[in-house]
Chain A
Amino acid sequence: DIQMTQSPSSLSASVGDRVTITCRASQSISSHLNWYQQKPGKAPKLLIYAASSLQSGVPLRFSGSGSGTEFTLTISSLQREDFATYYCQQSYTAYTFGQGTKLEIK
């Protein structure tokens, strides 16, 4: 199985900050990498697919980059509604998720 490792596991930031979350794959997955946002008690929501493609309706402050084994999710200017847990997921072979990054208000 392909292992996905996110860093950091948790992050404190302020409204307006620029935030970057990293996801590393245990082997190359090309650009088969997705990012989801999950708020407490809710289902995950797709933000980015194919490493850098923004899902329809997702604000432009979210962006993704990377290929191979290293990927990043960037939020350019944090809004209050962005405080949540973020998961990466590879779809290169089977599906596996990272362990999550909890983004909290500083």
Chain B
Amino acid sequence: EVQLVESGGGLIQPGGSLRLSCAASGLTVSSSYMSWVRQAPGKGLERVSITYSDGTTFYADSVKGRFTISRDNSKNTLYLQMNSLRAEDTAVYYCARDRNTKIAVAEYWYFDLWGRGTLVTVSS
């Protein structure tokens, strides 16, 4: 079965650090485009980071300089290192796979696989 399982969330004080993990099975993280998407309580969805199969990374402005996405190919696991956490980082964090389909001459990208999420609460 193809699945993603997040872990590592919890309660952390403002200014603290946390590392989230996303263990993959049935797919190879190293050859996939993988993202972290968060959802604040009662709010919408925001992609915070993506890592491409060539190792290129991208961060949303809201987390740039504080969060780092990485992967361990030997463990087939994606990570999100979160430093200098703020109250506004409180959210459920999902890992998700980016896929694309080519239709005519265009490539269309979407999230086709999501984990169940892990809750990060930043509070004193």
Which residues of A does B touch, CB under 8 Å? Answer: 30-32, 34, 36, 42-46, 49-50, 53, 55, 87, 89, 91, 94-95, 97-100
Q: Chain B interface mostly helix, strand, loop or mixed?
A: strand
Q: Chain A interface mostly helix, strand, loop or mixed?
A: loop
Interface size class of B (residues with CB under 8 A): 20 to 34
A98: chain B residues within 8 A (beta carbon)? 44
Q: Are B111 and A44 in contact (CB under 8 A)?
A: yes
A21 → B minimal CB distance (Å): 14
A95 → B minimal CB distance (Å): 5
Q: Are B108 and A49 in contact (CB under 8 A)?
A: yes
Q: Which 9 A-B pairs have the closest CB atoms?
A: A43-B114, A50-B108, A49-B110, A91-B109, A97-B45, A34-B110, A95-B47, A99-B44, A100-B44
Q: Are B46 and A97 in contact (CB under 8 A)?
A: yes
A30: chain B residues within 8 A (beta carbon)? 106
